[in-house]
Amino acid sequence: MSADFVISALVTIVGVSTPILLAATGELVVEKAGVLNLGVEGMMLIGAVTAFAVTLSTFNPWLGVACAAAAGLGSSLLFGLLVLWLGSNQVATGLALAIFGIGLSSLVGTSYVGMIIPRFTSIFPDALARDPFWRVVFGYSPLVYFALATIFGVGWLLKRTRPGLVLRAVGENDLSAHSIGYPVLPIRLAAVAFGGAMSGIAGSYFSMVITPLWAEQMTAGRGWIALALVVFGGWRAARLLSGAYFFGILMTLELYAKASGFSLLPSQFWAAMPYLAAVAVLAVISSREGRGGEAPACLGRPFLPNG
């Protein structure tokens, strides 16, 4: 096994792991606040089509990412209004958001089929970004470094700061947090908005970095893997990071198996392997009754201060 192959594999693993890491980081904050938003896939697709359209019109990838974050945030605020203030079921509303995002992105993206935008590549000099060795450090899109900075920042926020403690308190016991004066609903709405923005940025990674050519449902179910990843990580930031790269390795195996023409197993198996692994992991965690990481006590429950 050559050094070039190892470096190429590492670069691929980091690249394919980034969008699920971005989306899962946002969902981690949402669930820590006691809200379950299953609409990650839809918000990612809304962000993907928004980033593609804006970048195609302005040739400014930074603006494309910013607008993708705003689009994801806007769709998450709609979810937050329905579940936090109008009391709709979180599971049903999240699934509706996922379906809405899939349909909306397909409708808006119809006019962009076949169009190409410049790939959002490394901001470092080509001498570093394309060097056979140093590209493993410098050869990524800025979104890769943003994802790593965000997961470490979220981990520090949740464990070491007062706002993180308040957020966790709202997710663990909303009535107690309310009784001592914390605004439960605004805090949860802020968490939902952050999760939506992160999902929008994750979606922009698909249309601007992985495949700068619009294709319908280009996220290919990665939003559902991000949801499973939060559970896989035991609602902890450090485990979330390692879990993202675990799924990245599985997805990289699929790419290399197809490229090499490895025929012992059908290509459909390699494509399904990350999702099969997600189901297996969730089943194992459920059978262990939550050991190794506990879900927030109020996750998915509506806040009823007078109930």
pLDDT band for position 292 (cuts 50, 70, 90): very low
- Predicted confidence (pLDDT) per residue in 178-187, tens digit: 999 999 999 9
pLDDT value at 11 more than 70: yes
Question: What local confidence, expressed as pLDDT, does residue 291 receive?
Answer: 46
In this structure, the number of other CB atoms found within 10 A of the CB of residue 117 comes to 21
- Cβ pair 163, 33 in contact under 8 A: no
pLDDT band for position 290 (cuts 50, 70, 90): very low
Question: What local confidence, expressed as pLDDT, does residue 285 receive?
Answer: 62
pLDDT value at 288 more than 60: no
> Higher-confidence residue: 260 or 155?
155
pLDDT value at 177 more than 80: yes
Question: What local confidence, expressed as pLDDT, does residue 295 receive?
Answer: 85
Place of tokens 């992105």: 105
- Predicted confidence (pLDDT) per residue in 44-88, tens digit: 999 999 999 999 999 999 999 999 999 999 999 999 999 999 989
Three-state SS string over the chain comes to CCHHHHHHHHHHHHHHHHHHHHHHHHHHHHHHCCCCCCCHHHHHHHHHHHHHHHHHHHCCHHHHHHHHHHHHHHHHHHHHHHHHHCCCCHHHHHHHHHHHHHHHHHHHHHHHCCCECCCCCCCCCHHHHCCCCCHHHHCCCHHHHHHHHHHHHHHHHHHHCHHHHHHHHHHHCHHHHHHCCCCHHHHHHHHHHHHHHHHHHHHHHHHHHHCCECCCCCCCCHHHHHHHHHHHCCCCHHHHHHHHHHHHHHHHHHHHHHHHCCCCCCHHHHHHHHHHHHHHHHHHHHHCCCCCCCCCCCCCCCCCCCC
**CA distance linking residue 298 with residue 304, whole number of Å:** 11
Question: What local confidence, expressed as pLDDT, does residue 34 receive?
Answer: 94
Topology of domain 3-287 in CATH is ABC transporter involved in vitamin B12 uptake, BtuC (1.10.3470)
- Cβ pair 136, 5 in contact under 8 A: no
- Predicted confidence (pLDDT) per residue in 19-42, tens digit: 999 999 999 999 999 999 999 999
Residues 6+ positions from 109 with CB-CB distance below 8 Å: 49, 52, 214, 216
Q: Give mean pLDDT, residues 289-294.
A: 53
- Predicted confidence (pLDDT) per residue in 88-120, tens digit: 999 999 999 999 999 999 999 998 988 889 888
In terms of Cα–Cα distance, which of 271, 279, 93, 122 is closest to 192? Answer: 93
Question: What local confidence, expressed as pLDDT, does residue 123 receive?
Answer: 86
**CA distance linking residue 7 with residue 14, whole number of Å:** 11
**CA distance linking residue 209 with residue 211, whole number of Å:** 6
- Predicted confidence (pLDDT) per residue in 242-272, tens digit: 989 988 888 888 777 666 665 566 666 777 7
Amino acid at 15: G
Dihedral angle at the C-alpha atoms of 114, 117, 122, 127, nearest 10 degrees? 90
pTM above 0.85, yes or no: yes
pLDDT value at 135 more than 90: no
Average pLDDT of the chain to the nearest whole number: 88
In terms of Cα–Cα distance, which of 59, 67, 99, 47 is closest to 205? Answer: 47
